[in-house]
Structure 1
């Protein structure tokens, strides 16, 4: 089944499960903890103990949740919180260079999953604010005590969540009395290129009956090679005699990557008496990525002559463009929280928090480009696409043709001359972005127990400022032409080394590495001289039209009631949120920069209801319904733009400040059988009806936000993000966990954890000029997500084999538009732990043993647009605790 296509089984099963036992009952769990479960799950023992803690918290929760307890993180080869969360039901991940980055719950776009840290909402500003999704690769898993996925909402949780909100809960030192030292040291390698992996963490905690202190840090670093093949576009034949169609280019890339994650955290808690606690916590996390790119584009559609199609090509004088850089990606989070909890004998509970969070996301990619000369300066070639993923290219010399001004294929070339690029034509594109978010949040929750009834109320105020720009590629320095002007000639060909590429992909000819670091050092020096000479303006790296400055204020309050009716319970209430957005930027109208501003506000009610019924001692049924919201990314709503008043009709390129939030009504239900030995067998279904779905298009502005100087631009054509209609997302989740304690020894050490999710979903665009597209799949929606882990734990040995699979999905960054799909892939991981003593455990992890290949394609697999592979990775080390 293609993604987004209607699946009667999935839809019917989801609705049937959601409507099963629709009777209302009342809930016996009256906690208003931010994650709707107990705040801490600290497990220092076995897989089975960790599983038992997670299952117990799921069972007690007043809403539908899935939980990953602390020790589960250490027993998988999971370096960050995204990888650990991907083991839970209906959770898929988006990877970058093979590393887990974003979470997609229930196959939905990542923007539909919100994130909290210790109950405080967190917002992402990745890639120039093009996504509000939180980057999980910036948060090492070892900082956390547990991770809770709330799949149905209560009024106490933020409403900015269409499919789920995830609470990342940090470690509490008061959870264990005395002095404790926990940590690990590991070292390993990447299979492709033999780059090193290393990791280390240390957590020191001390507590008595009154005070607890914790200090900790973590470090992870990896060096890897990434093989990559890309195709820009595929031409279609224009007539039966057309012989120039197929791939427009063959793009050969390899990335040399060095990534590291650092985390620091500290906390102090003071509990002078039972039910009285004040605390302060601080977190710093850093994701850094230094990438060297070596790239050669064989520009097939610019050949002097010849033919090309999907199967093969024979082309004369094909221009080759080289692109090289040493780029830097940085993401840093600074989070500080102070708070207090009070619980009295009369059943009153009060929780207050004050939080500051800063996220700084920045990228600098000085990309150097140069091409071969025309005619005799470019090679001729043939290509064979018997395997469309790996076109095999044979190079030939180009010679003069039989008539003046023509060219012909000559003798076979021994390889591509990487020093044949035009040094005089070399340019540097100063690609750059930086977006910074500062947020202040105040949160108050109050709960009062009145017999079998618990009343709750609370409020939140969040004040954010966001300043940034979308990714800008507009500033170009002519390095080859200007180098001699400042007495530093630049020759792009001087950086070719004698070291051949270490590649696992077939190509047909060899390539050598470029000295990217040396090139970066020299262009930085050259650009500095050009700036001093007035030949290059670095302020142009980020045009005014790409910049934005926004303020975001959220005023929220809620009331909630939970009542206990014995075997049945209900929790319901309403949350109200008043949201105010201030939006400032610059429009370039002709040659004039014009400041523009816009302000919008919304007041919304978000009711929710969760019922829990104990059908038997070990059989629990849940049903819940809620309303949620997903607000637009900051870059998508920027008011900065380029406006053309002379075109007919006029045109606008930029953000869409009139973009409305996405809203949803959702229905969830589950049937949970809690098995002997801390196991669980559960099936759940859900359906989301979503309005205002984001997609990309070119259509009339439809508002006055770009009006200035008395000019009405509401009918101009805007290329940006718009709101669609009729979104539907639905699915069924099946989850089974069990340790086989009923088997004879030693087989009773075996256990299994697995889940399977079947999904469907689609949306429609607006009706524009009588045209409408229907049934468009959601970006990131895989029909199938599966996890399976078989483990053995006995005699000090803890071994686990884990398998993950996700099906094909539609992929379009920022919304609908590119028409690109992603091929499904699987991962096989193996983890081994052996407890040498009570204080030391040695471990060995092997990840991605399937050597997963990440493939994007256009329409079908015979038109791949990207093929990428990083290989397996291995880590060995020791964990310790005292």
Structure 2
């Protein structure tokens, strides 16, 4: 029986997903569009009800229609996008306006081969491509640069998925693509009004339920689209708002610190041999934490489009994101690094210890062993509370045009974006001197067990002293002006199809400043009007105030091993009833921290020429081009005098003296050739190859001319404005087999040779710091500065499959499976100068995603399991002992029901199995063990 393929009227995204917007003109050329027509299923071209009407009715002979909707529709569109591309690429497409397959874009992208994600509070936040860190992935919004402030990578928690029509991941470049995506380029597309093609309104109303805090919050969105009768003018406006209340529970070990007994303040005899000449490694802190928080995200998009003829298209669009995060950070911590009397003359010291001499000497030179257990009197015990508030605002504007005159097509676009992140947090340094023991009954790979004895009660507020209230935060502002002009001349029907050339200009500036202040105990006692008792000699010369009346016990239910049943935290309501927030911040207003800020500018000019070619039968196609890039950098910062450091005894904040202004300029230029080739071996079998030199710029913070100091973890970090960009000479080869009924089988291999790779140059530096309130302390710091010191080779293979089970028989119609597998061979490089070789950061050797779906009779059910193997997160930031994330897998599921042609119901569950995440150091010591819980989203989607 003859079959006609139909796309349902409500699914009017087809053209918007296939039409390339600014900066992606090479993705959908005339030749590739012709090639796409060879697919056995009809191309996804209907953009309006009128177009669809021509293919929907059954004919008189009773031809059967196939309705392709929902998730299968998404797979179909993504396949056609991949097939028509001139470069090695993959993508995810929306099912309908406001119906992206996942609630979070990063969660969707992890289904693509070669893509890995990291999560923040249970949400996908950053994306890695083919084994390179998120900073190597360039993110674009409708073809223009999109940033989220502070780094090259984009924070996907800032962007609602409601209005996204497609996300493309280009893994090989062409000359007309903006440089910087050394790992790949992610292009986020939204639908323009005339692409949608009709006047309509789409809306979503949902509730979000978080399993850990047992909270329900709203998630709503709406997109209104207007098109005039002649379909020459359109405008749309979309607004999405989401709230989320979460509770993240975790254990954190701050890293393996190596300390000389005589350099502790006061000296500590860890092995109890009667002298202070030994050097041991220990976990800097054992901290059990809770992060109850609330997030609010407002997203707004708007587009105006004018297309008086098929040859003229003029548009302007706007994107806005306002992301607010408010949370508390409760921490119950003990610290080996600080064992001391609460008051002068009181007993303190190690009473028993066990030392493993075989763990760390070979990894951390100078260490005589690792302290696996310690019993002590005067053990540092913290009841810390931090109030954390941040707000990230992103605004992006663009205007552009496409004009075709006979054989010449000219496109231009100008854009501007600014991303600003503001944060102001405050914390309470509340300390007790415990009689306690820290052991590892389940081994170093599990959180330790902390027990107390000798009559010490960890829930007795009268034993705790408040040393200070500290304010810290800052602002990061990232803005970019961008303009480009592209022209393409169609040569004719011969082998050379067209010649394309263009110019690009970018002007980016990133500024950052840290602010902080501290109100010490004497100030707090004065501000309290006598309600808080000042103890002059407690915890050193600065004194403290008694914490009685401002601490309260809390408890949480969690699966984290050895998590305490309850512990004390600051009762902020009780505290601020004694000293109002406005009073204390007025007495200690946050000021700019000397040496912490930076001002980095980057001006780029680029030009390219590209030849697009193809055989007359349409089976062979590709492009050959070269891009020239010139970048000028400038960095302003402060170079402080580190001989004037001031630290708070027992505290965690460091005051750096005012620095000398410093300005450093730099520049670099490169030719970046690229070659992409594809050949249709058979009607549905395509082979692709690509060769290119690709550039990746250093992190914005790495270009800083400033210096920051943290005496708590004994590090000094300086930027390096003279850094050169990373370079990669790379090759790609892939084979794609397009099956009927939206099926796909593909395999790819890739190779990247990286040079100018940046690692930390590292030296030790001994400084004498002033103790606030009197006295000094000698501290040995690790001083870090990024340098172009290394090279690396990355190679890997990718396999992907989409298998509709209708192949088996009619009984399986509507069922399908999908999956992908990526193997990456990570190079071994040092994380710091002179350090041991470890795998390249953020590279999991094995990654896979496997899932299945059923869609028929208006019912949609889908589940997917995503896995990534162990990977390195760097040198651990603090003590150089490494940070490795063990293998992690997560199961997500969704269900939907098409109640009427205009109304559908849906439910999604994220992290169905309540998977936990961990991080360990280079000899297996647990650094992080966290549990975020399940997230359930359910609601209704409607069209008017």
Q: So what's the TM-score if we normalise by structure 2?
A: 0.79
Unpaired segments ≥5 residues, structure 2: 1-18, 30-43, 48-67, 262-269, 273-279, 340-348, 356-370, 533-545, 644-656, 710-714, 766-780
Higher relative contact order (CA 8 A, sep 6+): 1
Separation of aligned partners in 2, 1:307 and 1:35: 67
Query: 767, 776, 781: which is aligned to 2:843?
Result: 781
Mapping of residues 239-278 of structure 1, within 5 Å: 242=271, 247-278=283-314
State the partner residue of 2:820: 755
Tell me the CA shift for residue 791 of structure 1: 0.4
Separation in structure 2 between the aligned mates of residue 118 and residue 804 of structure 1, nearest angstrom: 28
1:341 maps to 2:402: yes
Q: Can you give the 5+ residue segments of structure 1 that lack an aligned partner in the other structure?
A: 1-28, 399-409, 644-650, 702-715
- After superposition, residues 648-667 of structure 1 pair within 5 angstroms as 653-667=717-731
Q: Distance in 1 between matches of 2:212 and 2:401?
A: 50
In the alignment, does 2:410 pair up with 1:350? yes
Q: Secondary structure at the match of 2:214?
A: coil
Alignment partner, residue 517 of structure 2: 475
Indicate if the aligned counterparts of 1:483 and 1:526 stay in contact, CA closer than 8 A: no
Give the Cα–Cα distance (whole angstroms) in 1 for the partners of residues 912 and 120 of structure 2: 18
1:63 to partner: Cα distance: 0.5
Aligned to 1:839: 902
* 1:370 matched residue in structure 2: 430
Matches within 5 A, 1:76-475: 78-125=102-149, 129=150, 131-208=151-228, 209-234=231-256, 242=271, 247-300=283-336, 302=339, 304-308=350-354, 314-344=375-405, 346-373=406-433, 378-381=434-437, 383-386=439-442, 388=444, 391=447, 393=449, 395-398=451-454, 410=455, 416-423=458-465, 425-452=466-493, 453-469=497-513, 475=517
Which residue among 600, 610, 629 is the counterpart of 2:666?
600
Shift of 1:271: 0.8
- Larger mean CA deviation between 304-313 and 29-38 belongs to 29-38
C-alpha distance in 1 between matches for 2:483 and 2:876 = 31
CA contact (8 A) 1:159 1:627 kept: no
Deviations 1:772-824 (A, max 9, x none): 55743221100111111100111111110111001110002899955111112
Name the structure 1 match of 2:549. 494
Q: 1:488 to 1:63 in 2, by over 3 A?
A: farther
In structure 2, the partner of 1:557 is 607
Cα drift, residue 51 of structure 1: 1.1
Q: CA deviation at 1:340?
A: 1.2
Check the 8 A contact 1:395/1:509 in 2, yes or no: no
**2:937 equivalent to 1:879:** no
Which residue of 2 is the match for residue 722 of structure 1?
A: 787
Query: Residue 703 of structure 2: which of 624, 637, 646 is its match?
Result: 637
RMSD of aligned C-alpha atoms? 3.3
CA distance in 2, matches of 1:245, 1:717: 15
8 Å CA contact 1:77, 1:831 repeated in 2: no
In 2 relative to 1, CA 739–392 (structure 1 residues): closer, same or farther, beyond 3 Å? same
**Hey, what's the Cα distance between the residues in 2 that align with 1:878 and 1:141?**
16
**Structure 1 residue 658, shift from structure 2 partner:** 1.9
Aligned to 1:89, the other structure's residue is in SS state: coil
Q: Equivalents in 1 of 2:881, 2:724: separation in Å?
A: 22
Judging changes above 3 Å, is the alpha-carbon distance between structure 1 residues 818 and 577 closer, same or farther for their aligned structure 2 residues?
Answer: farther
1:420-452 CA distances to partner (integer Å, 9 max, x unpaired)?
4543x4212322121112221111111111113
CA distance in 1, matches of 2:907, 2:46: 23
Task: Work out whether 1:518 is the aligned partner of 2:563.
Answer: no
* SS of residue in 2 equivalent to 1:666: strand
CA contact (8 A) 1:42 1:145 kept: no
Q: Distance in 2 between matches of 1:250 and 1:877?
A: 42
Residues 501 and 513 in structure 1, CA contact (< 8 A), matched pair in contact too: no
| Partner SS state of residue 54, structure 1 | helix
Cα separation, 2, equivalents of 1:201 and 1:262? 10
Take 1:545 and 1:742, find their aligned partners in 2: how far apart are those partners?
65
Q: CA deviation at 1:287?
A: 2.0
Higher mean C-alpha displacement, 330-339 vs 361-370: 361-370
Aligned-pair distance for 1:332? Answer: 1.4
Given candidates 578, 601, 615, the residue that maps to 2:630 is: 578
Q: Describe the SS at the equivalent of 1:558.
A: strand
Q: Is the CA contact 1:501–1:512 (under 8 Å) kept in the aligned structure 2?
A: no
Task: Map Cα deviations across residues 629-687 of structure 1 (whole Å, 9 max, x no partner).
Answer: 121222211112379xxxxxxx9852112222111111111011111222111100111
Matched, 1:734 2:799: yes
Match of residue 59, structure 1, among 75, 83, 86: 83
Shift of 1:384: 4.9
Equivalent-residue separation in structure 1 for 2:563 and 2:412 (angstroms): 64
What is the DSSP-based 3-state SS (H/G/I as helix, E as strand, rest coil) of the residue aligned with 2:813? Answer: helix
The 3 A distance-change label for structure 1 pair 304 and 700 is closer
> How many residues end up aligned between the 2 structures?
798
Distance 1:321 1:794, change over 3 A: same
- What SS does the aligned partner of 1:372 have? strand
Give 1:34's match in structure 2, choosing from 3, 24, 27: 24
Change (3 A) 1:813 1:461: farther
State whether residues 480 and 489 of structure 1, in contact with CA within 8 Å, keep that contact through their aligned partners in structure 2: no
Aligned to 1:687: 751
Aligned equivalent of 1:821, options 858, 881, 884: 884
State the Cα distance separating 1:284 from its structure 2 match: 0.5
| TM-score normalised by structure 1 residue count | 0.84
Asked whether the 8 Å contact 2:315–2:400 carries over to 1, the reply is yes
In 2, distance between residues paired with 1:143 and 1:606? 34
Change (3 A) 1:236 1:602: closer
**8 A contact 2:256–2:881 mirrored in 1:** no
Q: Is the 8 A contact 2:524 2:584 kept in 1?
A: no
Deviation at 1:308, TM superposition (A): 4.5
* SS of residue in 1 equivalent to 2:901: coil
Distance 1:624 1:551 in 2: 33
Change (3 A) 1:522 1:761: farther
| Structure 1 residue ranges, 4+ long, deviating more than 6 angstroms after superposition | 29-32, 39-44, 72-77, 235-239, 813-816
For 2:376 and 2:101, the matched residues in 1 are separated by 47
Q: Is the 8 A contact 2:519 2:584 kept in 1?
A: no
Deviation at 1:260, TM superposition (A): 2.2
Report the CA distance between 1:257 and its aligned residue: 1.4
Using the TM superposition, name which of 487-496 and 323-332 deviates more.
Answer: 487-496
Residue 703 of structure 2 aligns to a residue whose secondary structure is: coil
Task: Single out whichever of 506-515 and 737-746 deviates more from structure 2.
Answer: 506-515
Deviation at 1:855, TM superposition (A): 0.5
SS in structure 1 at match of 2:176: coil
